Amino acid sequence: MSNTVLYQQAGNTFFIIDNRDESFDHRDKFSIKSLSKRYNVDGVILLQNSIKANYKMVFFNNDGSRAGMCGNGIASLARYIYDNIQECKNINMETDSGILKLEISTTNVTLKIPLNSIKDLNLDIKIEEDTVHHINTGVPHAIIYKDVSNIKKEGAKIRYNHFFAPEGCNVDFVKINDNGITIRTYERGVEDETKACGTGALASALITHKKFALAMPILVKTESGETLEVNLDDKYITLTGSPKKYVLPQTS
C-alpha cells in the first residue's frame, strides 16, 4: 500500500491512505479494523477523487464502521494534502455529510461548516436523571453538563438509549470554564472515550453558546490537553486546530 501516513490533531490520530487510484477496497471492513489495531489510530481516512469538489474524504471509525465526517480527521487530511500534494490555502472537500470548506495556513487548519447544514437540534431531553441536548454537526452528538468518573459506562448509557436509535450518537460531557469549555467524549465506533473529537467540540460549543450565551469564539479544551477554537458568523461555524504529521514512538 503506497503513500500512507499518520496525522494527528488534538490527540486524535488517523491513518491516511491516498486512494485516488482506488487500489484500496473501502468495502474491506476487516482491513480497516486491522490497520486501526496495528497502528492504534482513532480512524482510517481515504483520500479519493471527487467530481463535486477538489477532493473526497471517506472516513472509517476504528471498528471499521463508516462515519459521515470527522472534524479532526478532515483537518488532518487537509494538512496531509498541503504537505504532500499541493500547498493550497483553500480546499473544498466532499464528505458523506456534504461538501465542506477548509482554510489552510502554515500552522493551522480551519474547517467551515455551513450553519444551514447543522441539524437535529433538540434541547432539554430528559433521559433518566440526565438533561441531554442533541445536535448533528456532521455526526450526531448528545451534550451533557456534568462530571463523570466512568466515561465508558455513562457514555454507553446515552449512546445506546432508544431516543437516539437506530444510529446512536457520540456523547460529550461538558464543563464551562472562565475562558471556554472542557469536554470529554465517548465516541461511537470506538465505544470508549477518545482524547478529542472535532465534531464534538463544535457541537458542545454551539450548544453552550445557545444555552448559556457564552460568547464566541469558544476555546474547547480536550482530554488530550490540546485546545481547539470554535467560532461563529452569519453563515458558518468554524473549527480551528493545528494538525500535524504523527511519527510512531520508537519501541526498544
Hey, what domains does the chain have and what are their CATH numbers? 4-115 (3.10.310.10), 116-232 (3.10.310.10)
> Alpha-carbon distance 63 to 81, whole Å?
25
Q: Active-site residue 70, yes or no? A: yes
Q: Indicate the pTM of the whole model.
A: 0.92
Q: Active-site residue 88, yes or no? A: no
Q: 197, 203, 206, 220: which one is catalytic?
A: 197
Cell 456534504 belongs to residue? 98
Pairing of strands 55-61, 90-95: parallel
What three-state secondary structure class fits 131? Answer: strand
Is the separation of the CB atoms in 241 and 9 below 8 Å? yes
What does the pLDDT read at residue 179?
80
> Alpha-carbon distance 71 to 223, whole Å?
16
Query: Which helix (H) or strand (E) covers residue 106, if one does?
Result: none
> Alpha-carbon distance 3 to 132, whole Å?
42
Question: Mean pLDDT, 10 residues at a time, over the chain (252 residues)?
Answer: 80 95 83 88 95 96 90 97 94 95 96 94 92 94 95 94 92 93 94 94 96 95 96 96 85 46
User: If you compute the radius of gyration of the chain from its CA atoms, what whole number of angstroms results?
Assistant: 17
Helix, strand, coil tally for the chain in percent (to 5): 20, 40, 35
Q: 44, 47, 69, 70: which one is catalytic?
A: 70
